[in-house]
Chains A and B, each alone.
Chain A
Amino acid sequence: DAGITQSPRHKVTETGTPVTLRCHQTENHRYMYWYRQDPGHGLRLIHYSYGVKDTDKGEVSDGYSVSRSKTEDFLLTLESATSSQTSVYFCAISENRGGHDSPLHFGNGTRLTVT
């Protein structure tokens, strides 16, 4: 299994509070991604990174920000959590050569509940 650790695994927070989720990889892969998984929607890309300090938005980026100050760590921040952000969040990585020849490897997810 790819060395991907997501923390925390579970979190309950209140509306309006900031939340940061962490993804740590030991594979030295260039690309890192944050997805959210919701029933009836599958997985949707929030943000991703193509290198240290290089990030871009995905299809559902509103309300989220990211940072990548080191190759191994990719942080997802909810600036002011809302109930609509209750979801399961997955981090994924892919190898340096990029493209679809480099499949995604996923972490085990973080279950976030916003009350």
Chain B
Amino acid sequence: AQSVTQPDIHITVSEGASLELRCNYSYGATPYLFWYVQSPGQGLQLLLKYFSGDTLVQGIKGFEAEFKRSQSSFNLRKPSVHWSDAAEYFCAVGAPRERLTGGGNKLTFGTGTQLKVEL
């Protein structure tokens, strides 16, 4: 079974600084990888996803993530953080060809990283 670890519970960065949020996964092959963001009082929104191909993927809101097979990582990055980026970020992993009964998405979520942005 797949698993995902987000080592940092809280991260604080200054506005305009660069950001990297860590995500490590455990799976026997290349999984499907996702980053979601949750603003206060809101549901989760998909930032980006990786299935195959180019290991650097671009997402919405200026975020990108890089898949590194050798490190079993899928870290999220942003060159310059804005105050509106303060939120909780979740990494999730799905196993290719593994679905829930009836074909639904079988995702395992990390425990989240809370990002605080200092002005």
| Number of B interface residues in the complex (CB < 8 A) | 25
- A42: which of B32, B34, B101, B110 is its contact (CB, 8 Å)? B110
Stretch at the interface among B11-19, B36-44, B69-77, B78-86: B36-44
B105 proximal to A (CB < 8 A): yes
A37 vs B34: C-alpha distance when bound (angstroms): 17
Q: Give B53-95 interface residues, CB cut-off 8 Å to A.
A: 90, 94
A17 vs B90: C-alpha distance when bound (angstroms): 32
A102-B111 in contact (CB<8A): no
- A48: which of B34, B104, B111 is its contact (CB, 8 Å)? B104
Contacts of B100 in A (CB 8 A): 48, 50, 56
Contacts of A44 in B (CB 8 A): 109
Interface residues on A, range: 20 to 34
A4 vs B45: C-alpha distance when bound (angstroms): 13
A40-B111 in contact (CB<8A): yes
B105-A102 in contact (CB<8A): yes
A105 vs B66: C-alpha distance when bound (angstroms): 23
A60 proximal to B (CB < 8 A): no
Q: Give A20-59 interface residues, CB cut-off 8 Å to B.
A: 31, 33, 40-45, 48, 50-51, 54, 56
A33 vs B43: C-alpha distance when bound (angstroms): 13
The answer to whether residues A98 and B104 also contact, given A42-B109, A104-B44, A104-B46 and a CB cut-off of 8 A, is: yes
A90 vs B107: C-alpha distance when bound (angstroms): 14
A74 proximal to B (CB < 8 A): no
| Additional 19 contacts, C-beta under 8 A, given A106-B45, A108-B41 | A31-B102, A31-B105, A41-B111, A42-B110, A48-B100, A54-B102, A56-B102, A90-B43, A90-B44, A98-B99, A99-B99, A99-B103, A100-B49, A100-B105, A103-B46, A104-B46, A105-B43, A106-B44, A109-B41
On B, residues with C-beta under 8 Å from A are 32, 34, 41-46, 49, 51, 90, 94, 96, 99-105, 107, 109-112
